[in-house]
Chain A
């Protein structure tokens, strides 16, 4: 909401600077977002008078003028042919920025400075109206009326020295969407009074009763409809003062009738509408609901298809306005309008909001009605507008007002408890303070017939322009606001009560830090994606009804596309070696929605952690050869992560079926529960993302991970007896999986065999081309004795035998 300071001063007096006022308003909850000094472009321009004009000693066409600019006389070199002694002129001093340079083809602005022109000092410039941007005459300097006072800032002289506040009005304060509304708040903040403009109307002898009929068919949606008729107006441009006010708050002046209704709207906050009276069939206004499919052209020239339930203002045969939203082109005020009907109504906020939403049409009027206008303001504002129209457009105001107001508004009464107010705010207010504070915003203190014994409860009558004040807490908020948030003590006094559950660090936070330590960069990506991508991973896609764009029409079903996008963008920026992870959710629809279910039963959000590796496996190093990442790098990361979080019973099992987006998926299982999988991203997917290098990913379900991860840590005594290490290499067919060999070794090795780790894998010249050699380190120890060579040899023989039987494996010497 734009508020003109000049305009505001009509209703409330104050002696503080605009900045101080802005601070007061902001502290009262009316946030001043910016202050616009409209006259600042005319800084350093003043009215002045030419005292002497002499020829320039070194130039024929120039003169040297002595000019009085109020507090001093200055010398100015002037080139204008029409300069003469005694003229009142506009002078720009050094520092002034001349809006248009008339010697520049583009008319660019330039800044004035003290200069010497052909050897003579010039301290400013006498300006033409073109240069000032207030007219098009370039032929000579602008000569003002003789009665102009000299030394006045130009902005003030032109009436353009207004200061405009941009105020953010919260939706609960429709009463502040006007200059009077802000005036009331200023008065409350400064503990002073505000005054409403006095309205006096000269009515003609003919009564409105003979000129118009108003029928309200739906008084729930239109509780009040007031109308006046004004005849024989002359439609023309508004006077300058009115245009200046409207322009200051960025409303384009149109004609005196429309400008007058706009002025009253911005003054009182009450929306008005003027109809061309002669275009109303049978001089009748009918307020009724629209019929489905009814068509109507609004003032903006757009055809609107209406639906049942929307409220219309009609004449005897046709709609002439969408109530409270916008008038129609068929009854608008034109240059030929002679007679007008003024509407000042109160419409139900919900109805207006619904209509405005459905039509996608919002106006100054609809914004006020949907937030809640003042039902008791219709008469004051219609009279104010009538007075103004009579003043600036002439015409005869017909006698009387048609006022259809079947159920007058009952003021809200609210009881405020002193104790509760202080309990909620942490203040120490007394009854007198409460009354004083609330009365400053027109809440009338109601003296109770039976005074409460403790005087704890005070009753207030709320003014009709404050629809937001309905309950006690609303007044407690007003108390806080008026008392000043700054004046409420800032103190922490509650006792910290910790929960009975022991504090547990968040395993996800720990996983993040672990991965960062392992060289992974965390990413955060959009959880909206295109339907095409979403449906690749699941058929249970959660779709967005009103997406911003097609790329974001669904909730993601997998984190893979996002991480691929990040891989692609980084490769594009020459970062080709990537170790990335993201902690995020995927979203699935699990049930068809039905009316009585809560959303969390219909949708499933899964917490995931995804790792991706692409490019070189290890940090490039001058001494070692580079190697591209492969599936074993990712597997190693996952194994370490599992082991770090106490999950040592994992198995990696290749999928027997295919999996979306990836090739060669390998499931990670713990106790037959799948925690996630590792895989290589499908070539086809990579192609879709323009990625030319392999990408390996691990996709883990955090909740399963959490539920399996060992939380309790318990100490196991370290062995007292030495451990024995033995290396064994077996030659087998290439197809025999290492993990199966490990299994056989473990089984044959018995309980003294503690670990079996593969340390070398060989296939090549030294052995048959179908064969491979797998070398293992076996670790033995006993908790109660030192193992002997004989014992170990026995076990090893058993292992060799078992390997031979199970895998046709030969011991490699």
Chain B
């Protein structure tokens, strides 16, 4: 057997034997057999002295490669065996829960409001706000609710003084925005409003609204419908049906309520939609020219629309909540569901 043949045979032997190694002691046997100072490879290096000098360089190279190969096999196996061993010695019960942290939550009212805001921001609306303790002037008079008018009965009011009250809707912010800014005006105005009504499953002494206002040249009722349908389709899904029906708000004319087909029963009729198949989601209309007079806009030059929706109502419809009070109870077991 030539030295070359011996080297090749040992390489095969290495490749085979390493597969039989299953423990660290066995691996040590392997190491002693091949890689130790008196191992097989070391012995071969000894015999290299006896080969003819012309063969020495090439055989020396082969031998070096063999040693590297053996060492690699050994190291690789050692790594494998050690990592297996460590996972065995550190007994893990992966069924134990991990080290967790508290999970927080945004109040459902905030979540609904955020979604509404994001849709209108995409439609080019800005956000404005105003005070909750409001003048009669902004809450009623400038919105075309004349003093001693039955329309005021539509909203039961908390009074702070004869002329100061807790706003009953976010509409006064419309006036505040228009006082400060000339058209075009395109804003939404979220906020808290108050109603002096007995607290029940259906009504609370306060709730949240999002008001919208767009005033420019050539804003039409058709545009109002288009915008609100675009909103509703983004919020509720594009397959819904909708309808606008005439209504009355002193500060808009024509006024409308927007209904969408009940998404719970798909319009067939259920308890939530009172078997009508429709859900009322918002009130809207064209800004009444009387309102422009209070903010020094020229009703012959501009037109606009306004709309308003109740966040609690929308939140309750979305999540199937049937008692408004639970939104204000803040039971963590409830909050964690959102």
A485's partner among B230, B246, B336 (CB-CB below 8 A) is: B246
Check A228 for interface membership: any CB of B closer than 8 A. no
Q: Nearest Cβ in chain B — how far from A801, in angstroms?
A: 43
**Are A524's CB and B327's CB within 8 A?**
yes
Check B265 for interface membership: any CB of A closer than 8 A. no
**Are A593's CB and B184's CB within 8 A?**
no
Which one of A55-63, A98-106, A488-496, A670-678 is at the interface? A488-496
Check B288 for interface membership: any CB of A closer than 8 A. yes
B248's partner among A170, A353, A515 (CB-CB below 8 A) is: A170
**Are B223's CB and A493's CB within 8 A?**
yes
**Are A599's CB and B126's CB within 8 A?**
no
CA distance A522 to B197 in the complex (A): 26
- Per-residue CB contact flags for chain A residues 68-100 toward chain B (1 = under 8 Å, else 0) read 000000000000000000000000000000000
**Are B331's CB and A546's CB within 8 A?**
no
CB-CB under 8 A from B107, the residues of chain A are 522-524
Chain A 160-201 residues near chain B, CB threshold 8 A: 170-173
**Are A426's CB and B221's CB within 8 A?**
yes
Check B239 for interface membership: any CB of A closer than 8 A. no
**Are B288's CB and A473's CB within 8 A?**
yes
CA distance A546 to B205 in the complex (A): 12
- Per-residue CB contact flags for chain B residues 137-179 toward chain A (1 = under 8 Å, else 0) read 1000000000011110110001111011010000000000000
**Are B226's CB and A492's CB within 8 A?**
yes
Chain A 453-512 residues near chain B, CB threshold 8 A: 471, 473-474, 476-477, 480-481, 485-486, 488-494, 496-499, 503, 506, 509, 512
**Are B96's CB and A575's CB within 8 A?**
no
Q: Nearest Cβ in chain B — how far from A224, in angstroms?
A: 20
CB-CB under 8 A from B243, the residues of chain A are 27, 485-486
CB-CB under 8 A from A354, the residues of chain B are 148
Chain B 9-35 residues near chain A, CB threshold 8 A: none
CB-CB under 8 A from A28, the residues of chain B are 246
CB-CB under 8 A from B164, the residues of chain A are 593, 599, 602-603
Which one of B39-47, B71-79, B253-261 is at the interface? B253-261
**Are A477's CB and B253's CB within 8 A?**
yes
**Are A489's CB and B150's CB within 8 A?**
no
Task: Give A509's nearest chain B residue, CB to CB.
Answer: B114
CB-CB under 8 A from A519, the residues of chain B are 101-104
- Per-residue CB contact flags for chain A residues 540-584 toward chain B (1 = under 8 Å, else 0) read 001111111000100100000000001001100101011110000
CA distance A353 to B147 in the complex (A): 11
CB-CB under 8 A from A579, the residues of chain B are 102, 104
CA distance A440 to B101 in the complex (A): 69
**Are B333's CB and A29's CB within 8 A?**
no
Task: Give B192's nearest chain A residue, CB to CB.
Answer: A527
Check A621 for interface membership: any CB of B closer than 8 A. yes
**Are B248's CB and A172's CB within 8 A?**
yes
Check A755 for interface membership: any CB of B closer than 8 A. no
CB-CB under 8 A from B123, the residues of chain A are 496
Check A320 for interface membership: any CB of B closer than 8 A. no
CA distance A477 to B256 in the complex (A): 10
CB-CB under 8 A from B238, the residues of chain A are none
Check A767 for interface membership: any CB of B closer than 8 A. no
A497's partner among B124, B153, B245, B246 (CB-CB below 8 A) is: B124
Check B57 for interface membership: any CB of A closer than 8 A. no
Check A746 for interface membership: any CB of B closer than 8 A. no
CA distance A29 to B134 in the complex (A): 31
**Are B256's CB and A485's CB within 8 A?**
yes
CB-CB under 8 A from A171, the residues of chain B are 149-151, 153-154, 248
B332's partner among A370, A509, A521, A600 (CB-CB below 8 A) is: A521
Check B110 for interface membership: any CB of A closer than 8 A. yes
**Are B206's CB and A486's CB within 8 A?**
no
Check A377 for interface membership: any CB of B closer than 8 A. no
**Are B222's CB and A426's CB within 8 A?**
yes
**Are A426's CB and B106's CB within 8 A?**
no
**Are B159's CB and A522's CB within 8 A?**
no
Given contacts A515-B104, A519-B103, contact A548 B131 (CB under 8 A): no
Chain A 518-539 residues near chain B, CB threshold 8 A: 518-528
**Are B333's CB and A573's CB within 8 A?**
yes
CA distance A687 to B150 in the complex (A): 47
Task: Give B126's nearest chain A residue, CB to CB.
Answer: A499
CA distance A279 to B106 in the complex (A): 69
Interface size class of A (residues with CB under 8 A): 35 or more
Given contacts A371-B150, A496-B124, contact A527 B245 (CB under 8 A): no
Task: Give B150's nearest chain A residue, CB to CB.
Answer: A171
CA distance A471 to B290 in the complex (A): 10
Which one of B48-56, B60-68, B83-91, B212-220 is at the interface? B212-220
**Are A425's CB and B327's CB within 8 A?**
no
CA distance A569 to B137 in the complex (A): 40
**Are A516's CB and B105's CB within 8 A?**
yes
Check A9 for interface membership: any CB of B closer than 8 A. no
- For the A-B complex, the count of residue pairs with Cβ-Cβ distances under 8 Å equals 237
**Are A544's CB and B166's CB within 8 A?**
yes
CA distance A621 to B257 in the complex (A): 53
Chain A 15-42 residues near chain B, CB threshold 8 A: 26-29, 31, 34
Q: Nearest Cβ in chain B — how far from A428, in angstroms?
A: 10
Q: Nearest Cβ in chain A — how far from B89, in angstroms?
A: 19
CA distance A587 to B134 in the complex (A): 12
CA distance A370 to B206 in the complex (A): 28
Question: By CB atoms of chain A within 10 A, which of B102, B105, B158, B290 has the most?
Answer: B102
**Are B99's CB and A621's CB within 8 A?**
yes
**Are A546's CB and B159's CB within 8 A?**
yes
Check A432 for interface membership: any CB of B closer than 8 A. no
**Are B254's CB and A476's CB within 8 A?**
yes
**Are A605's CB and B104's CB within 8 A?**
no
CB-CB under 8 A from B159, the residues of chain A are 544-546
Check B229 for interface membership: any CB of A closer than 8 A. yes
CB-CB under 8 A from B327, the residues of chain A are 524
**Are A489's CB and B246's CB within 8 A?**
no
Chain A 597-656 residues near chain B, CB threshold 8 A: 598-600, 602-603, 605, 618-619, 621-624
A542's partner among B105, B160, B186, B303 (CB-CB below 8 A) is: B160
**Are A522's CB and B105's CB within 8 A?**
yes
Task: Give B218's nearest chain A residue, CB to CB.
Answer: A423
Q: Nearest Cβ in chain A — how far from B196, in angstroms?
A: 6
- Per-residue CB contact flags for chain B residues 269-304 toward chain A (1 = under 8 Å, else 0) read 000001000000000001011100000000000010
A477's partner among B100, B126, B199, B255 (CB-CB below 8 A) is: B255
Check B329 for interface membership: any CB of A closer than 8 A. yes
A490's partner among B99, B166, B225, B257 (CB-CB below 8 A) is: B225
**Are A29's CB and B248's CB within 8 A?**
yes
Task: Give B208's nearest chain A residue, CB to CB.
Answer: A524
**Are A545's CB and B289's CB within 8 A?**
no
Check A585 for interface membership: any CB of B closer than 8 A. yes
Check A429 for interface membership: any CB of B closer than 8 A. no
Check A427 for interface membership: any CB of B closer than 8 A. yes
Given contacts A426-B222, A525-B328, A526-B328, contact A173 B253 (CB under 8 A): no
**Are B110's CB and A494's CB within 8 A?**
no
Given contacts A426-B222, A518-B104, A522-B105, contact A555 B245 (CB under 8 A): no
Given contacts A423-B220, A498-B124, contact A520 B104 (CB under 8 A): yes
Task: Give A372's nearest chain B residue, CB to CB.
Answer: B150
**Are B253's CB and A548's CB within 8 A?**
no
CA distance A408 to B97 in the complex (A): 86
CB-CB under 8 A from A528, the residues of chain B are 194, 205-206
CA distance A603 to B133 in the complex (A): 7
CB-CB under 8 A from A476, the residues of chain B are 253-254
Check A717 for interface membership: any CB of B closer than 8 A. no
**Are B199's CB and A548's CB within 8 A?**
yes
Question: By CB atoms of chain A within 10 A, which of B123, B134, B151, B223 has the most?
Answer: B223
A425's partner among B99, B104, B206, B220 (CB-CB below 8 A) is: B220
A585's partner among B132, B254, B255 (CB-CB below 8 A) is: B132
CB-CB under 8 A from A485, the residues of chain B are 225, 243-246, 254, 256
Q: What are 10 sample pairs from A and B whose C-beta atoms fall under 8 A apart?
A: A29-B247, A477-B254, A491-B225, A497-B184, A515-B104, A522-B107, A528-B205, A544-B159, A619-B100, A624-B99
